[in-house]
Amino acid sequence: MTRNAVQRLFEWKVRGIRWIEIIGVLLVAVMILSVYVAKAAAARESATINQLERQIAETRQRVRLLRAEAARLEQPARLEVLSRGAGLAPVEMDQQADGVALSTLRPAPEPVLAPVEVAPVVVETPADAAPVGEGLR
């Protein structure tokens, strides 16, 4: 029976051509086409990948260059000369405090008397100036 079925399949023809062969040829054609499409897509992808990799390499090279340039500009000797030239100097001990000491430091600026001194002047000035002003008027 099976043998007959197979035989029938092979004898199933159209215009003297076996269907099985036509189907086979079509399948092969589809396969070739799909392989071609897949290959073309892969080639496109790999070209993109190559381009990206080239870009990455170039960018990496640029990063290295910039990093080296930044390091060159941050040479300690150069920075020292620049900061001395700008009138900067290491912070003195009495100019330093940590967060904990801040509350204890607050009274210290008071002897400077900046706000205290200004206040009486402001208060006194109108008192002294008022008669002068009146006199002028």
Between 46 and 85, how does the x/- string for binding to other proteins read (CB under 8 A)? ----------x---xx--xx-xxxxxx-xxxx-xx-----
Token pair recorded at residue 18:
């076996």
**CB of 26: closest distance to other proteins in angstroms?**
20
Distance CA 43, CA 117 (A): 82
**CB of 105: closest distance to other proteins in angstroms?**
14
Q: Among the residues of 19-112, which ranges form H helices?
A: 19-73, 76-85, 102-105
In the complex with other proteins, the residue whose CB is nearer, 53 or 124, is 53
The answer to whether 20 and 10 have CB atoms below 8 angstroms apart is yes
- One of 16, 85, 90, 131 touching other proteins (CB under 8 A): 90
The stretch near other proteins (CB under 8 A) out of 25-33, 93-101, 102-110, 129-137 is 93-101
Question: Among 18, 16, 22, which Cα is nearest to 30's?
Answer: 22
Q: Does 93 bind other proteins (CB under 8 A)?
A: yes
